[in-house]
Amino acid sequence: MQIGSVHIDSPLVLAPMAGVTDIAFRSICRELGAGYTITEMVSAKALCYQDKKSLPLLRLEEGEHPAGVQLFGSDPVCMQEAAEIAMKVSGADILDINMGCPVPKVANNGDGSGLLKDLDKACRVAEATIKGAGGKPVTVKMRLGWDKGNIVCLELARMLESLGVAAITLHGRTKVQMYSGTANWDYIREMKNALSIPVIANGDVFSGKDAAHILKYTGADGVMIARGVFGNPWIFQQAKAAIAGEPIPPLPPLADRCDVAVKQFEMAAQYKSEKIACLEARKHYAWYLKGVPHANYWKSEISRITTLEDVYRVTAGIKRELKDDDHDR
C-alpha cells in the first residue's frame, strides 16, 4: 500500500483508539504483524493550547515506522497549527484526520463525525491540515454519514481526494449507529471503485478470516482492525495467514498470552507512571482473558491492580489455576 510518499509493506493497520493504542500496545501489535500503526486521537485544540497531557500521546517508539498520528478538531486555523506541532513532535510519516468518532462529546461539538454534517467545513479542515503537515501525507478516517438518511461518504471522499488527501479509511457505519448493527461493506467497495487514492476498510473485523474477507469483498487496499484486537494482538498474525490462504495459527497458550500482557504493562510503565499504566492495564488484562473459562475471580483481582507487583501476583495465579480456552479466536 502506497500512501503518498510512504510505502507500507502490509495491508494490516491498527486503528487509532483512545485509551487503547498507546505506545506499548502499538509496539506489541507491530511485533505481531501490524504493518502500520496510528496514535490515539489527539485534540487539535489541546495542542494549540499547549496542553502537557496531550504531547506524550504523540510519542512514537524508536523505529515505529511507518506510523501516523491522528488529530481531531473542526477549526481549520487550529488544525493547521496542531498539524505543524504534531508532525514536529512525533516525527510521524502520516497525519490522519478523525472525521469518524461518534462519541457524543466529540461529535456533538462538531468534531469527529460531526464534520459529516458540514462537508464544506470538513474540506476546509482538510486543506488547513495539509498545509500544516509540511508535505507529509494527510489521510482521513470517516464514517458513512451522520445517519442513514444522510450518507455522504462518497461525496465527501471525492472532494477530499481533489484537495490532495492521500488515503481514506471508511468505517461502514453511521454516527448514529455508534457500534451497533452490522457494518455495511458495500459503501467501502463503492468508494474503492470511485477513487484513485488508497481506501482502507474498517468495521466488523474480529478475526483473521474477517480481515481476508473484507479485503476480498471490497477490493480495499488495506484493512484497519479496531475492536477485534482487544486482548488479541495475534489477530494480525491470523489475518496475514488468512490473506495468504495459509492455515490460521491458533492463539498461543494462555501462559504465553499472559507474558505478552505483562510485557505490555511493563512497557507502559516506562512511558507513564506505574500507577497510570496499571490502572489502564485493568481493561487490557480483562480483554486478554476473554473466553477463558472460570476467569471471573481473576478478572475481579485484575480490577484492583495498582502496581506491577499486583500484575505479577495476578499473573502467577492465572498461570497456576486457569487452563486455556477451548476455542480459537
Catalytic residue ranges: 101
Q: Which residues, 6 or more positions from 147, have their beta carbon under 8 angstroms from its beta carbon?
A: 174, 175, 176
Distances from the Cα of 105 to the Cα of 114, 224, 316, angstroms: 10, 24, 40
3-state secondary structure (DSSP) of residue 16 = coil
User: Residue 233's closest CA among 260, 214, 259?
Assistant: 260
Buried (b) or exposed (e) across 67-88, using 16+ Cβ within 10 A? bbbbbbbbbbebbbbbbbbbbe
Q: Which residues, 6 or more positions from 237, have their beta carbon under 8 angstroms from its beta carbon?
A: 32, 33, 208, 249
- Residue 26 Ramachandran class (φ > 0 left, ψ -120 to 50 alpha, else beta): alpha
Residue 260 φ/ψ, nearest 5 degrees: -65, -40
d(CA 140, CA 260): 31
Exposed, middle or buried: residue 168 (CB in 10 Å: 0-12, 13-18, 19+)?
A: buried
> What is the residue type of 310?
D
